[in-house]
Amino acid sequence: IASGEAVIDTFAMWGGVEIKVPRDWLVVSKGMPLLGGFVDSTTPPPAPTGKVLVVRGVAIMGGVEIKN
């Protein structure tokens, strides 16, 4: 992301999705778990960089994990 906002749509059913992002990106998690998990394990950047990643989606009996 040069600057601004990017969006990733995810879908996990009986499995998992792992998303790795750089430490200078701000992550906004808008996922819905249904008998599963939607976890944002990232650390917020120390200073605002203007780089925002929005992760949307559904996890049905599966999981989505976002990490640095």
DSSP string, 17-44: EEEE--TT-EEEEEEEEESSEEEE-PPP
Question: What is the structure's pLDDT at 40?
Answer: 94
Question: What is the structure's pLDDT at 3?
Answer: 77
Question: What is the structure's pLDDT at 17?
Answer: 95
> What is the chain's pLDDT, residue by residue, as a tens digit (68 residues)?
887 899 999 999 999 999 999 999 999 999 999 999 999 999 999 888 889 999 999 999 999 999 99
